[in-house]
Structure 1
């Protein structure tokens, strides 16, 4: 009995503390200072909030009828989306979340287009490929979220950086929820924005729960705004249910940010009165807490204040509602009558990448015999000269020149604005590169080592790779990947992890073996508006030399290089392993091998591979990566399917041992497949 009493008392005081905390936080909650607004603006804000509320009310009905598939409700939070959007200029980007319908209505997107988006129809923004608010539109300067939340904060950094580099006094606004502030991307993006003084308005809707997890289980600081101090960033707390406070304070802040460019963190105190999405429900929310926030409804309370101030009459209220409902009904009728989406396999495949035709830039007769690393440097340098909207970003790439000294001297030639040192935050920098592309620029991101890309994996495979297919936005980003073993660098600096990305539709993967190819393919990758992972084997940097054109030159991606003609066996390879093959064939001079250097792994030159195997009837694939799940496995499957009747022996793969890359030279040599290559060639030739 005593235990039950104690539990009751504990529960009572916990609820009391929660309620008291909200009361203290919001003691001035519904103090609408209408004297700060003109009568016209006061009514405009009311109608602007009413519209998304009435749309949502209708959408919830349609959801129950099965006419839309999912809904994320922003009921009770309309003041935030409306207020933020109203203080931005029409040509300033805004990156909303799935509870910010007011952003879309305030940017005057025709409602039938939104309704068709939610029904997966043709006049939506994603051709039926994504749902709800997972889309962007350059026409309305809205860049929608992805479900992983965090990357869009870094994307906002990139958009703002592009404006700053062009000396445009514009700001960028980006939304997240209190749950999203627990992601590393939040901290990375705030840090980058602060270090680079980027005019980003970081809008955090502290709405009480991350799905069902309350704020006290999300963070320990009293306010999310407190985190701004840690990044040397101005921060404000705003009553997110008070449209007058939201609009007037943000208008002042936004004006100041344009004049004095800097990031600002805004914490909006608000609440999510419906489920994370409708199927989730709100059973985890105490009844008294829900009742408290319902009493603080931003529209009901503002409406009451307007009526008391004689700025709104009941008749006008009814007229506004009737007009909006009529618009909703008319546009729903358009959407319902629109045909279901249709497509073809060809159309779907064509939209994975942005269409691009490389204009030939042939190599000159004048060549220089240089190292692989110098060819990379030369290509970057000439690309920076050719494209004044190209930015290089990475750790230590500025004055230090990068750990491999490839960009040494670039700051003096191109300036520190375009050759940018970054904090150690791969995810935010890849996301920022995406933002640069959205805002009309090009980006080359240097991973200090290819191994470190795992810290930036999410925006590469979930944002860059999918963005064109989803809503027709290209990602003009090249990620340079110094990779590979053979230099005694151990498990964290030696991977050749190309297979992580060849699996992902929407990415292009390039892996040259020779200086001339490296120069031309890197230039072509930078020209290509699609995201490219460009692998550069560290062991080749200073050990391999070749004649390289002095002029700017390109090679088309997706074309293998036929290195040797032979009829006994086909050997297909790429990267440093190509040199293993050539060395083995010098030793095995009696073997007549047909040798292909793939150069590009995605897209893959399937035609060249198939033609070679048809000619020889035997195939050996050589890769430095471990075997299972690697590029060689897919080539093997391709040949089994396309050339089975031509084969005179089993398809063989030479690869590294299925272990991490060891450090000690003897262990590393044993790990690499090079030591097993000669025997594999002989065995297959003699099969």
Structure 2
């Protein structure tokens, strides 16, 4: 292979058999984002855009990688990868509209910069937390692999992002599952102002590939021909032999992390060294020396691109400012879902709560052939609670997947599966462990439809609850963490019949659902449950008892504690409401009941301060104040971690306190 260096370039170029048209196309494709950036920096100083993250000096990576991929292969860029968007020919007026918060953008003014995705161009933008998109790439690639599609997914990270746990989790999952992911690290010298010497100790980040059993390569990120040819070769190899590959692109960030940051922390000699390696000026000199690029052609490219920029800026600036509409804001929080009631046509059989969950899972797997189950030990072992025991015999280990202990990456993979047209279930071995996957749930799944109209078709099952002597790390009921987050649905059944029907609905709903299952109910509660498939609606509470004296509002194990408590009253005259669904919440049933009884007590197993009981209490105070004959009572667990010893756990839980508070409320 002939390498050509001219006196006017600091980079060694090899044509590698590429024809002149391809070389000119690569040059023009790098020139376009550079000229857009130059214009954006002017507009930034004029106050016409609010923020800018510069990719000056890194264009060869964005353009080279994108050009090496097929147009229907997903690419997950960062905020310096403008060349990804322009190489995919995203209309400039839409990009400009996005940066100005206009309706023509991709997020309806709800997010800025490159925080968006577009299925039309197979681009999935990053979130500010950086790391979660790596797991999302795993899920997109998994969908391709399961469908036997010869496709790969490329995902970008900066060298700073490789310090995040998500990076290590995503690489581990991709390696274990042989996923066709191209992990692209833009090693540009600084994470904001922190140099690489303070980020990691290995000589090259590519060395980490060996630790995960994957191929890894170092590429000159300022050499467009090396980027394009090497990535093209590697991409073709991945399509034939699906597997992850780690690429480290050596480059440099020539401007601040964002423009307000500046570059005063960078030594002058280092800046000068990298300025000499500018990917565009060097490639221009090479093409001129080779007689491929004429001055007239270069001028034409520049004039054409500048004219395109100006024309599209006029369109963006002429567009009216986006208007606020509270109805649209609320309605876009979730992907539209029209509930379809399916009624059982078969006889019922008396089964346990845990059996109802297992039946619902199995029947939903049969109904949705694109549903993938993921969780620790859920395959041949059947999960720690044996809910998926025997599932691999019917559905195989491709659809019932054991996962490494990588909660964050697996939640991200569920998001990626949804982006690529599939459904996902993630089983948290215990609901407490969701804290290790909290970030992608509340910052990715919950916000993604609101941000850019992409649903997150993910159900996260949450075995939860105390009363079984499991201690502080296996006993929490942490639903309030998620009822607070707009964009998540939260379901918490108390009976086998409800559990099966609601779980089936959760898999039909294209939105993210947190499905809480109380461990103490798994094998202690039985009920007649139809043998076949049926559904139940979200947002409809169940009125288990009717009376006129007090409204008892609860869910989960609290329902059974309330039923036990009522047996101690000679003539109980209570409404007992089992919420079943916490988000959406059946406010109408609550309000109507309290208006009738004039007294309300809300029971939760959660610790009381900041619990859902507090929110419901506020709701009642606002909507039913003139109907109340007593203060609204709340009963919950002590504001401590869940203790282990039986006597301590009994004291922690509100079961006995419920009886005392009920009597106090009746006598008020």
TM over 0.5, yes or no? yes
Does 2:654 match 1:673?
yes
After TM superposition, list the pairs within 5 Å mapping 1:6-155 onto structure 2.
30-155=11-136
Q: Does 2:191 correspond to 1:210? A: yes
Runs of 4+ in structure 1 deviating by more than 3 angstroms, as ranges, are: none
Equivalent residue number for residue 254 of structure 2? 273
- Give the match for residue 514 of structure 1: 495
Distance 1:72 1:535 in 2: 41
- Measured in 2, the distance between the counterparts of 1:284 and 1:543 equals 63
Deviation at 1:674, TM superposition (A): 0.1
Cα deviation digits, residues 360-379 of structure 1 (max 9, x gap): 11133510100000000000
Is the aligned partner of 1:322 residue 2:283?
no
Name 1:374's counterpart in structure 2.
355
Aligned residues of 1:228 and 1:235 also touching (Cα < 8 A) = yes
Partners of 1:35 and 1:556 in 2: CA distance:
61
CA contact (8 A) 1:29 1:242 kept: no
What CA distance in whole angstroms lies between the structure 2 residues aligned with 1:595 and 1:620? 10
Corresponding residue SS for 2:73:
coil
Deviations 1:123-155 (A, max 9, x none): 100000000000000000000000000000000
Please tell me whether the aligned partners of residues 16 and 229 of structure 2 are also in contact (alpha carbons under 8 angstroms). no
1:29–1:239 CA contact under 8 A, matched in 2: no
Q: Residues 216-255 of structure 1: matches in 2 within 5 Å?
A: 216-255=197-236
Mapped contact 1:77–1:240 kept (Cα < 8 A) = yes
Match of 2:345 among 356, 364, 388: 364
Asked whether the 8 Å contact 1:449–1:483 carries over to 2, the reply is: yes
Deviations 1:174-196 (A, max 9, x none): 00000000000000000000000
In the alignment, is the contact (CA less than 8 A) between 2:548 and 2:596 conserved in 1? Answer: yes
TM-score (norm 1): 0.96
On the 8 A contact 2:150/2:239 being kept in 1, the answer is yes
Residue 631, structure 1, aligned to residue 612, structure 2: yes
In structure 1, the residue matched to 2:600 is 619
Q: 1:658 and 1:330 mapped to 2: Cα distance?
A: 61
**In structure 2, C-alpha distance between the alignment counterparts of 1:48 and 1:377, rounded to whole Å:** 53
Is the 2:539–2:581 Cα contact (8 Å) retained in structure 1?
Answer: yes
Alignment of structure 1 residues 434-473 onto 2, 5 Å: 434-473=415-454
Check if 1:538 corresponds to 2:519.
Answer: yes
Task: State how far apart, in whole Å, the 2-side matches of 1:70 and 1:409 are.
Answer: 54
Displacement of 1:679: 1.2
Q: 2:165 aligned with 1:197, yes or no?
A: no
Asked whether the equivalents of residues 573 and 596 of structure 1 are also in contact (C-alpha less than 8 Å), the reply is yes
Contact 1:175–1:205, Cα closer than 8 Å, also in 2: yes
CA contact (8 A) 1:109 1:140 kept: yes
- The partner residue of 2:483 within 478, 494, 502 is 502
Q: Kindly indicate whether residue 309 of structure 2 is the aligned counterpart of residue 305 of structure 1.
A: no
Deviation at 1:343, TM superposition (A): 3.0
Secondary structure at the aligned position of 1:306 is classed as: helix
Q: Which whole-Å CA distance do the structure 2 matches of 1:589 and 1:112 have between them? A: 72
Residues 685 and 86 from structure 1, CA distance in 2 versus in 1: closer, same or farther, beyond 3 angstroms? same
Q: Does 1:650 find its partner at 2:631?
A: yes
Structure 2: distance between partners of 1:136 and 1:343: 22
Structure 2 CA distance, aligned partners of 1:589 and 1:152? 58
Deviation at 1:316, TM superposition (A): 1.1
* Alignment partner, residue 458 of structure 2: 477
Q: Deviations over 1:576-611 (max 9, x none)?
A: 010000000011132300010000000110001000
Indicate how the Cα distance of structure 1 residues 173 and 29 shifts in structure 2: closer, same or farther if over 3 A, else same: farther
Distance 1:123 1:294 in 2: 36
Match of 2:4 in 1: none
Matched, 1:295 2:276: yes
Supply the distance in 2 between the matched residues of 1:551 and 1:34 (Cα, whole angstroms).
64
In the superposition, the TM-score normalised over structure 2's length comes to 0.98
Q: For residue 186 of structure 2, give the secondary structure of its aligned residue in structure 1.
A: strand
Asked if structure 1 preserves the Cα contact closer than 8 Å seen for 2:352 and 2:526, the reply is yes
Structure 2 CA distance, aligned partners of 1:407 and 1:372? Answer: 14
Is the 1:501–1:509 contact (alpha carbons within 8 Å) kept by the matching residues of 2?
yes
Instruction: Report the 3-state secondary structure (helix = DSSP H, G, I; strand = E; otherwise coil) of the residue aligned with 1:370.
Output: strand
Q: SS in structure 1 opposite 2:567? A: helix
Displacement after TM superposition at 1:678 (Å):
1.0
Is the 8 Å Cα contact of residues 395 and 423 (structure 1) preserved in structure 2? yes
Q: Secondary structure at the match of 2:552?
A: strand
Distance in 2 (alpha carbons) for counterparts of 1:416 and 1:427: 21
The equivalent position to 1:188 in structure 2, one of 163, 166, 169, is: 169
CA offsets, 1:493-515, max 9 Å, x none? 00000000000000000000000
Whether 2:369 is the aligned partner of 1:388: answer yes
**Structure 1: any 5+ residue segments left out of the alignment?**
1-27
Taking the aligned partners of 1:338 and 1:677, their CA distance within structure 2 comes to 59
Helix, strand or coil for the counterpart of 1:643?
A: helix
Instruction: Quote the Cα distance in structure 2 between the aligned partners of 1:486 and 1:440.
Output: 40
Q: Hey, what's the Cα distance between the residues in 2 that align with 1:632 and 1:364?
A: 37
Following the alignment from structure 1 to structure 2, what is the Cα–Cα distance between the partners of residues 352 and 513?
27
1:547 to 525, 528, 532: 528
User: Which residue number in structure 1 is paired with residue 5 of structure 2?
Assistant: none
Deviations 1:252-311 (A, max 9, x none): 000000001100000000000100000000110000000110110000000000000000
In structure 2, the residue matched to 1:403 is 384
On the 8 A contact 2:61/2:221 being kept in 1, the answer is: yes
TM-superposed CA distance for 1:36, in Å, is 3.1
Q: Is 2:154–2:181's contact at 8 Å kept on the other side of the alignment?
A: yes
Corresponding residue pairs, total: 660
Determine whether 1:572 maps to 2:553: yes
Counterpart of 2:322? 341
